[in-house]
Amino acid sequence: MERLIATRRSHPEVIVAANEAAVRESLNALPGDAWSMKAHAEKYVIPQAGTFTTLKRMAAILAAALDEGRARGPMHQHAFLFHAYRVIEGAATSVEHDLSYAWPLLGIPDPGGRPRPGLAPVEAAGLAAYHRDRVALEAAQAAGGKSRGKGKGGEEGEWHDQGAAGGERRARAKAQAAAAAANRGAEKGGGKGAPGGP
């Protein structure tokens, strides 16, 4: 083990060449054929991880980092690894310890999360920040127990419970109000059917 570590530190090119050759061989890639660590991870590593989502995600991150280094050089690889570190840091410091909130920063598919089709990376990152902030706010409200807002009679300044259940009630009420407003708009704009319909 010590010799392998010493070789990695003194002659990293030996480790890189040996591992790249092993990956190319496992993918049956002939000289000149395109190959990637991502393809190797998706074919041999991620399926073997079973229900261990963290293992799947770590394999995806490491494969993407290796591919970034091969394709764009060590500086790009270093930048990708910093983003990967920030994603893990964000999960470790968040209330729910969930990697999926900051995962869009990596720009790679999340093997352990739900796909979010139709979102550009910057949109997905904004959505992740929104969810992270919402969870933190709800946790702070639950920890505080009570906060100032509108009471039962709608009067400003009354004290009432705004824990998780209160947040869910408010979210449902907002969704119902939005649906009612959309229905009113549909009735005014087109009569029957959905907005823009016949």
What pLDDT, in 10s, does the model give residues 54-111?
999 999 999 999 999 999 999 999 999 999 999 899 889 888 888 887 888 888 988 8
Q: Which of 130, 122, 81, 117 is nearest to 105 (CA)?
A: 122
Residues 23 and 67 in one domain: no
Split into its structural domains, the chain has a count of: 3
Residues 51 and 26 in one domain: no
Q: Which of 145, 131, 83, 144 is nearest to 108 (CA)?
A: 83
Domain of residue 197, residue span: 163-198
Look at residue 143 and tell me if it is in a domain: no
For residue 99, CA distances in Å to 29, 38, 89, 120, 129 come to 33, 19, 9, 18, 12
Residues 47 and 15 in one domain: no
Residues 40 and 122 in one domain: yes
Q: Which of 155, 136, 139, 158 is nearest to 147 (CA)?
A: 158
Look at residue 178 and tell me if it is in a domain: yes
pLDDT-derived band of residue 124, with 50, 70 and 90 as boundaries? low
Summarize the confidence of residues 1-13 as an average pLDDT.
91
Count of CB atoms within 10 A of residue 181's CB?
Answer: 10
Look at residue 81 and tell me if it is in a domain: yes
Look at residue 155 and tell me if it is in a domain: no
Q: Whole-model pTM above 0.75?
A: no
